[in-house]
């Protein structure tokens, strides 16, 4: 891959972030990924020895001490609810949102003609074992009349300045491996098979740092950094979540930023306010939860029930995956349990083909589903 192609790759990333930028990271990451992968599609890393060497460096093999520690634990042993930040993320959150471009002014989208200075978000979150799930519905008010004089386009069947609209987002994360960082509540992963993501617990058990970066062989540059701070009113116990996602161009300059102010509420308050803002923003029934983060249609016909179903998906997260320590099965003429099955690879390969063994020894058989 020649340096000029790599430069074009970074420029494509920057263009994608400008064209599709959005407050929640899924939208910016997804738009960015589509553009950058198209740019990378015609390249061949194998033809450039320098790139091959950089790819090799991506492995970052763990130290001997960390390898031994990893062998002594399982990712299924990690329970995110043991960490105050992850425990507090659970439940129902209502947010007031603002999103700004690199010039510090409210963002203006060329494809989603709704105001970004002040809109609303409704988010559900759940933790189960080593997994976290989040579902979002964002509500946008009608565009300003003055802006409609310059651009009167809409998404869906509404009219500019008269009707608002919605977008839906989702996120599923889990502990992929057991290492020194994941034992402290850190979640890592790869987005789109390419970009590195990492969520770390920081502060005095009251903050999370989520970052999206290019992989090491592409320079490792930071693309987005999101800080979440969790606070509580000591007098009332009311919980608050303040978030800011900072986006960066290929040159390292600030590209956008968001400012989210969220409060934790009860289920009944959550859905009551959702209905209230749908009415206040005059959002058509057919546009409710019909569009994804890039404004693309995901439902033939939107509805309020579609929003409810999407938000409730958070709570369908699979329970922790554990071996049944009380199970006793049979193999030939002897009794067996999960410890017996896991004593050597040959037994695992042979016995884990049995349905009763998989059902009772999912950890031993590596048959745990991360999420449902």
The residues that bridge with 197 in the sheet, in sequence order, are 189, 212
The mean pLDDT of 146-167, rounded to a whole number, is 96
pTM above 0.75, yes or no: no
List the domain boundaries for the chain. Answer: 8-315, 321-372
Residue 39 has pLDDT above 80, yes or no: no
User: What is the rounded average pLDDT of the residues 241-263?
Assistant: 95
| pLDDT tens, position by position, 228-247 | 999 999 999 999 999 999 99
370 falls in which pLDDT band (50, 70, 90)?
low
Q: Over the chain, what is the mean pLDDT?
A: 82
Query: For residues 56 and 39, what is the distance between their CA atoms, to the nearest angstrom?
Result: 22
**269 or 358: which leads in pLDDT:** 269
Say what the pLDDT of residue 340 is: 95
Tell me how far apart the alpha carbons of residues 243 and 192 are, in angstroms, rounded to a whole number: 24
């Amino acid at each position: 891959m020649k340096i000029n192609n790599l430069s074009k790759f970074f420029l494509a990333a920057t263009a994608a972030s400008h064209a599709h930028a959005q407050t929640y990271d899924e939208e910016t990451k997804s738009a960015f990924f589509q553009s950058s992968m198209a740019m990378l599609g015609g390249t061949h890393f194998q033809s450039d020895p320098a790139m091959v060497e950089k790819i090799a460096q991506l492995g970052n093999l763990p130290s001997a001490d960390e390898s031994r520690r990893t062998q002594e634990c399982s990712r299924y042993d990690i329970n995110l609810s043991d960490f105050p930040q992850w425990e507090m993320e659970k439940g129902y959150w209502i947010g007031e949102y603002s999103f700004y471009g690199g010039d510090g002014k409210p963002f203006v989208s060329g494809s989603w003609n709704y105001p970004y200075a002040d809109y609303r978000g409704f988010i559900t979150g759940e933790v189960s074992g080593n997994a976290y799930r989040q579902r979002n519905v964002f509500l946008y008010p009608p565009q300003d009349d003055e802006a409609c004089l310059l651009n009167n386009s809409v998404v869906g069947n509404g009219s500019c300045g008269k009707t608002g609209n919605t977008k839906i987002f989702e996120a599923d994360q889990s502990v992929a491996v057991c290492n020194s960082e994941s034992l402290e509540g850190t979640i890592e992963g790869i987005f789109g098979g390419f970009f590195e993501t990492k969520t770390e617990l920081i502060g005095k058990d009251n903050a999370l740092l989520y970052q999206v970066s290019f992989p090491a062989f592409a320079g490792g540059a930071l693309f987005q950094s999101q800080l979440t701070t969790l606070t509580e009113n000591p007098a009332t116990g009311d919980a608050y979540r303040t978030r800011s996602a900072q986006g960066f161009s290929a040159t390292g300059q600030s590209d956008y930023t968001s400012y989210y102010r969220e409060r934790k509420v009860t289920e009944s308050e959550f859905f009551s306010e959702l209905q209230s803002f749908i009415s206040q923003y005059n959002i058509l029934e057919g546009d409710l939860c019909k569009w994804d983060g890039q404004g693309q249609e995901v439902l033939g016909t939107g509805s309020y029930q579609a929003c409810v179903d999407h938000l409730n998906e958070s709570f369908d997260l699979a329970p922790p995956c554990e071996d049944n320590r009380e199970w006793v099965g049979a193999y030939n003429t002897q009794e067996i349990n999960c410890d017996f099955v896991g004593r050597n690879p040959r037994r695992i390969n042979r016995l884990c083909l049995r349905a009763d063994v998989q059902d009772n020894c999912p950890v031993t058989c590596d048959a745990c589903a991360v999420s449902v």
